[in-house]
C-alpha cells in the first residue's frame, strides 16, 4: 500500500514560538499561513505541520498522491482503495471518505494507542 508523503501535524499553543523552535532545528517554512494559524515546515524529506487552535492532539498524516514536495505522483493508491483495504482487514475507521466519489478525500483511523492517523488525499 502506497500512503504517500508523511508528516506529523502538531497541535501547538503558540505558533510563533513553535516556528522559531523548529527553524532552530533546521526546518524552513514550506507552506501555510501563519495569520491563519497553520504552517508546514520542511527539513530535507521531513515535514512538520504546526496548527494552533485547530485540533487538540497531534496527528500522523499521510498524503496519497503527493511526494514530500507536494508534487503529484504519477502512480499512487487512491484514498478509497486504502480505506477499502483497511475495512476488509477489520480496522475501525473514525471517519470515512465517500467511496462513490473520486479525487480529493480523507479518512481517519486510530492506532492501538489512540494516535490519530489522517489519510488525506489532495489530488
pLDDT digits (tens, 9 = 90+) for 46-82: 999 999 999 999 999 999 999 999 999 999 999 999 9
**C-alpha dihedral over 82, 45, 60, 64, to 10 degrees?**
-20
Domain ranges of the chain: 5-121
pLDDT digits (tens, 9 = 90+) for 80-119: 999 999 999 999 999 999 999 999 999 999 998 899 999 9
pTM of the model: 0.89
Q: Which three cell numbers stand for residue 61?
A: 498524516
Looking at domain 5-121, its CATH architecture is Roll (3.10)
Contacts 24+ apart (CB under 8 A), 32-40: 39/15, 40/7
pLDDT digits (tens, 9 = 90+) for 25-43: 999 999 999 999 999 999 9
Pairing of strands 38-43, 59-63: unpaired
Amino acid at each position: 500500500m502506497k500512503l504517500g508523503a508523511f508528516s506529523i501535524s502538531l497541535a501547538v499553543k503558540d505558533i510563533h514560538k513553535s516556528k522559531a523552535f523548529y527553524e532552530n532545528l533546521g526546518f524552513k517554512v514550506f507552506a501555510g499561513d501563519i495569520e491563519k494559524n497553520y504552517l508546514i515546515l520542511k527539513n530535507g524529506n521531513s515535514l512538520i505541520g504546526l496548527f494552533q487552535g485547530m485540533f487538540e492532539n497531534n496527528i500522523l498524516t499521510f498524503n496519497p498522491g503527493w511526494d514530500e514536495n507536494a508534487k503529484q505522483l504519477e502512480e499512487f493508491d487512491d484514498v478509497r482503495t486504502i480505506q477499502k483495504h483497511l475495512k476488509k482487514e477489520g480496522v475501525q475507521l473514525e471517519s470515512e471518505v465517500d467511496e462513490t466519489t473520486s479525487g480529493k478525500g480523507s479518512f481517519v483511523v486510530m492506532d492501538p494507542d489512540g494516535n490519530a492517523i489522517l489519510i488525506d488525499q489532495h489530488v
